[in-house]
Chains A and B, each alone.
Chain A
Amino acid sequence: MFIRQEKHFLKGKWAICTLIVGILILFPALTIIAEGPPEEEGIYEKYVASVPQGCKPVPRECFEQAVAGKTFAMYDWAAWWPEELYEGFSKTFGIEIVRDNYPDLDTALAKFRLNPKTPYDYFLANPKSLWYLKEDEILHEVNHDWIPNANRYMAEDIKNASWDPGYRYTVLTTLGFDAYVINTNFIDKNDSRIPSWEFLFEGGEAYQGKLVMRNEMNRVIGNALKYLGYSLNSTSEKELAEAKKVLLRLKPYIMAFDSWPKRAVLAQEVWVVEGIVHDYLYLGGLIPEGNPFFAAYPPEGCLLSPMLITIPKGGGNPAATHCFINYLYRPENFAKLINTTAYGHGHTAIDDLITEDVEKWMTPPEGYRKKCEVLNTDSFTGKGEKLRADIWQELKK
Chain B
Amino acid sequence: MANGRVRKFLTKKLNLSAFPVVGPISIWILLFVLMPLAVIFIISFLGRDIKGSIVPSFSLDNYRLLFSEGSEYAKSILRSILFAFATNAACLIIGYPMAYWIVKYGGKIKPFLLLLVIVPSWSCYVVRIYALKQLIGYPGIINNFLLNIGLVSSPIEILYTPHAVILGLIYIWLPFMVLPIYASLEGIDPSLLEASVDLGATPAERFLTITLPLSKGGIFGGTILTFIPAFGDWIVPLLLGGNKVWMAGTYIAHYFIVMGDLPLGSSMTVFLTTAIVLMIYICIKLGGEQAIERIL
- Which residues does A use to contact B, with CB under 8 Å? 106-107, 109-110, 113, 132, 135-136, 212, 215, 217, 251, 254-258, 263-264, 267, 269, 381-382, 385, 389, 393-394, 396-397
Contacts and interface: CB of A to CB of B under 8 A. Distances in A.
B72 interface: yes
A394 B75 CA distance: 11
B245 interface: yes
A131 B258 CA distance: 14
B108 interface: no
B137 A269 contact: yes
Given A257-B244, A258-B242, A382 B257 contact: no
B50 interface: yes
B257 A107 contact: yes
Nearest to A109: B260
B45 interface: no
Contacts of A394: 72
Given A113-B260, A132-B51, A382-B50, 14 more contacts: A106-B257, A106-B258, A109-B260, A110-B256, A132-B260, A136-B53, A212-B242, A251-B244, A256-B244, A263-B137, A267-B139, A385-B259, A394-B72, A397-B75
Contacts of A397: 72, 75-76, 245-246
> What's the interface size class on B, roughly?
20 to 34
A254 B244 contact: yes
A256 B240 CA distance: 9
Interface string B240-256: 00111110001100001
Contacts of B257: 106-107, 110
B51 A381 contact: yes
Contacts of A393: 72, 246, 251
A326 B209 CA distance: 79
Contacts of A107: 257
B63 interface: no
A267 B155 CA distance: 14
Contact of A136 (B50, B51, B245): B51
A255 B260 contact: no
A158 B246 CA distance: 39
* Majority SS at the chain A contact face: helix
B243 A396 contact: yes
Contacts of B100: none
9 contacts: A106-B258, A113-B52, A215-B243, A258-B242, A267-B138, A385-B259, A389-B259, A393-B251, A397-B246
Interface string B243-286: 11110001100001111100000000000000000000000000
Interface string B70-95: 00100110000000000000000000
Contacts of A255: 160, 242
B216 interface: no
B188 to A, nearest CB: 46
Contacts of B52: 113, 132, 381
Given A269-B138, A389-B259, A397-B72, A135 B51 contact: yes
Contacts of B137: 263-264, 267, 269
Contact of B160 (A109, A256, A381, A382): A256
B133 interface: yes
A263 B250 CA distance: 22
A257 B256 contact: no
Interface string B117-149: 000000000000000010001110000000000
Contacts of B250: 396
Pairs of residues from A and B, 7 with the lowest C-beta to C-beta distance, nearest first = A256-B242, A257-B243, A393-B72, A396-B246, A256-B160, A106-B258, A381-B50
A110 B255 CA distance: 11
Given A215-B243, A385-B259, A269 B139 contact: yes
B185 to A, nearest CB: 40
Nearest to B245: A396
Contacts of B75: 397
Contacts of B76: 397
Nearest to A110: B257
A136 B49 CA distance: 13
Nearest to A216: B258
Contacts of B242: 212, 254-258
B72 A256 contact: no
Contacts of A254: 242, 244
Nearest to B240: A256
Nearest to B241: A256
A80 B247 CA distance: 32
Contacts of B51: 132, 135-136, 381
A121 to B, nearest CB: 24
Interface in B152-194: 160
Contacts of B53: 136
Q: Report which residue of A258, A393, A396 has the largest number of chain B beta carbons within 10 angstroms of its beta carbon.
A: A396
B162 to A, nearest CB: 12
Contacts of A396: 72, 243-246, 250
B243 A258 contact: yes
